[in-house]
Amino acid sequence: MPTPGTGPSRLAYIDWMRGLACILMFQTHCYDSWLGGPARQSRFFMYSQLGGTFPAPLFLFLAGISFALVTDRLRQKNLPPGQIARSTIRRGAEIVAFGLLFRLQEYVIAWGWAPKSDLLRVDILNTIGLSMMLMGVVCWIVLSRSTGLRLAGQPGAAVPTSFLPAAHNRAALILTAATTALLISLLTPLLWTTWRPRWLPWPLESYIDGVHNVGTPQAWLFPIFPWAAFAFAGLAVGFILMSPWAHAREARVFFSIGGAGIVLIELSRWLDSMPLQLYPVYDYWHTSPEFFLIRLGMLMVILTGSYAWCRWGFGQWGFSPLIQLGQASLLVYWVHIEFVYGRFSILPKRGVGIGAASVGLLVITLAMLGLAYVRTHTKGWMKDRVTAVLAGMRRRPARAG
C-alpha cells in the first residue's frame, strides 16, 4: 500500500469527481428503471432522482476543466491558436460522433419498438461534444485576437502564442469563459419560451431548447441551453487552476473556489426570493439562472471537497474506486445503460421494490468497477507491449543485402 503522498496524481480530483458522477448516475438510472408500485411514489425515489440532477452538470463542468488543461498544455508547446483549435475541436467532434453512435446502438438493440426519432435525441454525449467544440472556437478567437494585437507592433514577426503575455491571455480566457457561461444561462429561459427558434427543423431546434419532436422543450434532454453553461464555467475554473499563481497557492485557491461556491448558492437563494422577475415565464427547476447558480455553487464545493479528499484523505491511500470509475467514465456510461434500461436489464423494469433494486444497483456498480479496472489496466499493458515491440525492432540489426 502506498504511503501518503505517493497515491494519485495532483489532478486525481478530476477522475474522483467523474467517478462520483458515475455513482450518482448508476443509482438514478437503476431506481428509475426498476422501482415499481408504491416504491415509485416514495420519498426514497424522490431523493434518488434529485441526486440524478448532479451527474450531467458534473460531467460538463469537468469537461471544461479538462479542456482548459489540454489547451494550456498545447499553448506551452508554442502551438499557434489555429492548431490548438483544430486539435480540441476535433476531440469534441469525436465525442459528438460517439453520441450519435450510442443512439444508433440503442435503436438497433430496441429494434421493433423504439421510434426512429430516438436516433436524433439530444443526449449528454452530444452536448459534451458540442460544448467542447464551442469552447475550442471561443479559445481560438481569444488567442487569435491576442496574437494579432501582439503582432501588430512587430510586422513580419512570427510570435508563438506562448511568447505572449501569459497572464493577459489567461485573464482574457477566464473572463470570456465566465461571461459565456453567464450569457447561456441568462438566455435559456427566453429560448425555451418566447424566443424559441420554431423556424428550425426540430432535430436542430432540439439542440437549442430540447424540443425533440413533441412540440415543447423537454426537461429530460440536454440542449446547449442551459447545459453548455456548466462546461464554460468549468473552463473558467480550469484556467484559474492551471495558472502558475494557483499552482503556488494550490490549497488556498481550492478552498477559495469552495467559498465562492457557497456565495453563489446563497446568491441564488436570494435572487429566487426576490418578488421582481425579469422573465415572462419563470421555471426555477429547469431554466432559471438561479438554478444554474445554485448547481454551479454546489459543483465548486464538491470540487474543493474532492481536492481535499485526494490530497489529505483516503484518496491518497491505495486503490480508489471513484478514481478508477472516473478513468473509464465513457465506457461505463455506455455499457451500464444496456443492463439497466436495455433489453439486457438484470431486473424487471418497474417491477421490484427498494431492496431488490438496491441489490441490483450494487451488482451494477461492482460490475462497472471491474470493467473500468480491466479497461485501464489492459490499456496500460497493451501500451507497454507495443512500446517493447517497437524498441526491439529498433535494436534489431539490419540484414546484409
Cβ atoms of 56 and 5 closer than 8 Å:
no
Burial of 314 (0-12, 13-18, 19+ CB in 10 A): exposed
Q: In a 3-state reduction of DSSP, which class is residue 35?
A: strand
* Identity of residue 230: F
Tens of pLDDT, residues 96-109? 999 999 999 888 88
The total of other beta-carbon atoms located within 10 Å of residue 240's CB is 21
What pLDDT score was predicted for residue 111?
76
Q: Which three cell numbers stand for residue 249?
A: 497557492
Within the chain, how many helices (H) and strands (E) appear?
A: 14, 0
Q: Is the pTM of this model over 0.85?
A: yes
Rounded Cα–Cα distance for residues 233 and 185 (Å): 11
What pLDDT score was predicted for residue 276?
85
Rounded Cα–Cα distance for residues 209 and 192 (Å): 5
> CA 66, 72, 73: angle at the middle one, nearest 5?
95
Contacts of residue 185, defined as CB under 8 A and 6 or more positions apart, other chains included, come to 226, 229, 289, 292, 293
CA atoms within 13 A on the CB side of 260: 13
Burial of 203 (0-12, 13-18, 19+ CB in 10 A): middle
CA atoms within 13 A on the CB side of 258: 14
What pLDDT score was predicted for residue 302?
96
Burial of 360 (0-12, 13-18, 19+ CB in 10 A): buried
In the chain (401 residues long), the average pLDDT of successive 10-residue segments reads 42 92 96 94 93 93 96 89 94 95 87 85 95 96 72 46 59 95 97 95 96 92 96 97 90 96 97 89 92 96 93 72 93 94 90 95 97 85 50 49 39
Rounded Cα–Cα distance for residues 65 and 56 (Å): 14
Element (H, E) at 180: helix 166-191
Rounded Cα–Cα distance for residues 180 and 70 (Å): 19
What pLDDT score was predicted for residue 399?
46
Rounded Cα–Cα distance for residues 22 and 371 (Å): 13
Tens of pLDDT, residues 24-65? 999 999 999 999 999 999 999 999 998 888 999 999 999 999
Q: Report residue 352: phi and psi, to 5°.
A: -130, 170
CA 11 to chain centre: 15
Q: Which three cell numbers stand for residue 314?
A: 483516503
Rounded Cα–Cα distance for residues 75 and 82 (Å): 11
Matching residue, cell 439562472: 289
* Identity of residue 198: R
Q: Residue ranges of the domains in the chain?
A: 12-256+315-388
**Of 368, 188, 211, 197, which Cα lies nearest the Cα of 295?**
188
What pLDDT score was predicted for residue 168?
75
